[in-house]
Structure 1
Amino acid sequence: MTAKTPAESLTVLTDLVLPSETNHIHNLFGGELLSRMDRAASISAQRHSRNIAVTASVNHVAFTKAILLGSVVTIEAKVSRAFNSSMEVYIDVWVEDRESGIKSKANEAIYTFVAVNETGKPVIVPPIIPETDIEKERYDGALRRKQLSLLLAGKIKPSEATELRALFV
């Protein structure tokens, strides 16, 4: 199985915020943004694994900037790390200023997907080779995030969370 770079899984979705997708103060509904991020992340995970990819968890979402009615929103999703059958997908959300065309980061999220075959059985996915500094940072952090998730779910013991322990020793 050949390793891949995060760039090979890059998915970019650009869309306009319409009135039916906003709340009473004309901001994009959070649930609408979550749905868009899930679609982009799903495509990214499928591109990486070349299999069906199902959402296993939404690990982190930061709604740091309101996205207004009429905004052009671009969602960029890349696989940040692959494990056995699971993949962490990091999502950046950008909003384009209508007048200047300048893009600013509005939100980010981290989703986990599992690659499965047609019967729903998990399948092995190729490893990731990060290239850029941000890809390396996200790759390194993915193992800590996974261990924290497993620890909180009671699936591993604190002594098994070696990456987390290393932060405090």
Structure 2
Amino acid sequence: MATCICIVHSEQWPLMTFDTAESDKVKKINEHIRSKTKVSVQDQVLLLDSKILKPQRTLSSYGINKETTIHLTLKVVKPSDEELPLFLVESTKEGQRHLLQVRRSNSVAQVKEMIESVTCVTPKTQIVTCNGKRLEDGKIMADYNIRRGSLLFLTGHCIGG
């Protein structure tokens, strides 16, 4: 398996260089960029010359199949920062629902504060999930590709297991 050197150019960040294999999917490059820039994969567009690379395709499907250096350009698609009405479902017997108005740019910590204001459950004891993923402090809602009408689920920490 031949390895390639991938160089990613962007107006906003310094050059990013890393090794890839021809069998790697473009999404692996997106994930690497995400780790360096904090730009979510959904908000990235990678260009090889003028061709947009699709995350699910391999590098070899774009004709990259030998030891070479590939130069990619990263474009960041600014997501709309619209308000997203979401329902928060509490994991109580009643399964109470609360309507929250969040933005794609809201941090998980900010959303946990909103949750505290309607449930009185402190952010430290909240476990919030959406689409089967636990929301982590230090990330924003856009990182989870949360859409209008998504459901957030709130459970609390169980002390003593």
- Per the normalisation by structure 1, the TM-score is 0.29
Bigger Rg, which one: 2
Task: Please state which structure has a larger fraction of its residues in helix.
Answer: 1
Higher relative contact order (CA 8 A, sep 6+): 1
**TM-score normalised by the chain length of structure 2:** 0.30
